[in-house]
Amino acid sequence: MGLRSFFLLGFQFFLHLLRRIFFLYRPGGVARFLENYREDHLFPFEVSDRELLPLWQRCTACGLCEAVCPLKEGSPIEQGRLSYLVLASSLWRDTSIRRWAAKDAEILASCSDCDRCEQICPERIPLRALARLVGSPPPAVGGQSLSEG
């Protein structure tokens, strides 16, 4: 049994070498990522974003950030939707719903940078960086943009 496995493994390695030699592998990188994951609305992160990701995911949905934000005072209709809570607590459990937060990100563009939300967050989540990421245009690589589709 064990011997057969080794044979198979050896055969795979042989195929791998052949492919390497004859350049049979398709080009990888962002283009291939886009091809594979576009449907899922996943998007490639910058290295710095990837470092922030685990911090954003710590949100316990306590709602304190929203309760202190002065942006909502005298709120017009759209401002009623402003929600760091949604951004931080649900978005980063499932990055595919990023576009749902687009409206929130728009409102957050008028953020006065008062820092109250980050000051009160028990989990020390860098919320303004999160808003900037969501508000920034999705990465367009090789002529493809992730925003449509």
Partner 1 sequence: MRVVVIGSGVAGTMAALAARKTGAEVIAVAGRPGASAQWSGVVELFGPSNEPPPIENLLGRSRQPEAHRPPGIAPGDRFERLMDRRRFHPYARVGLGFEAVAGHFQEALELADLEIVASLSPACLANAHGLLRLADGCASSLRPGLLPLAGSTRDLTVWGFSHYPAFDPEVVANQLQHQGLAAEARWIDLPDAPLCQSVATAATVLEGMAADRLEEIGRSIAEGTGERVALVPPILGRTMRSHRSIRDGLTQKGERADLAELASVHNSLHGFRLIWELQAALEAAGVAVRQASVQAFSANDRRIASVTLDSGERLTGDAFVLATGRAMAGGFQRSEPFTETLFGLPLYLDGMPLDPLQRDSATLVSRSLVDDHPLFRVGVGVNQRLQPLDVDLGVAFDNLFSAGGLLAGTHFALDGSAFGVALVTGLLAGRTAVEAEVTPWV
Cβ of residue 84: shortest distance to ligand SF4, in angstroms? Answer: 5
Indicate whether 53 belongs to the interface with ligand SF4 (CB under 6 A). Answer: no
Indicate whether 60 belongs to the interface with ligand SF4 (CB under 6 A). Answer: yes
Interface size with ligand SF4, residues (CB under 6 A): 29
- Residue 6 to residue 88: CA distance in whole angstroms: 47
If one counts every other C-beta atom within 10 angstroms of the C-beta of residue 139, the result is 15
CB 143 within 8 A of CB 47: no
Indicate whether 91 belongs to the interface with ligand SF4 (CB under 6 A). Answer: no
Q: To the nearest 10°, the Cα dihedral for 105, 46, 41, 30?
A: 150
Give the three-class secondary structure for 145.
strand
Place of tokens 């493994």: 9
Indicate whether 62 belongs to the interface with ligand SF4 (CB under 6 A). Answer: yes
Cβ of residue 61: shortest distance to ligand SF4, in angstroms? Answer: 5
Residues of this chain that interact with partner 1 (CB under 8 A) are 60-64, 66-67, 69, 72-83, 85-86, 119-124
Residue 83 contact, options ligand SF4, partner 1, none, Cβ 5-8 Å cut-off depending on partner type? partner 1
Cβ of residue 138: shortest distance to ligand SF4, in angstroms? Answer: 21
DSSP assignment of 43-103, as one string?
Answer: -PPPHHHHHHHHHHTT-----HHHHH-GGGTT--TGGGG--HHIIIIIGGG-GGGGGGGHH
Of 101-120, binders to ligand SF4 (CB under 6 A) are 108, 111-117
41 φ/ψ angles, rounded to the nearest 5 degrees: 60, 25
Indicate whether 15 belongs to the interface with ligand SF4 (CB under 6 A). Answer: no
**Binding stretches for ligand SF4 (CB under 6 A):** 59-65, 68-71, 84-85, 88-89, 108, 111-117, 121-123, 125, 127-128
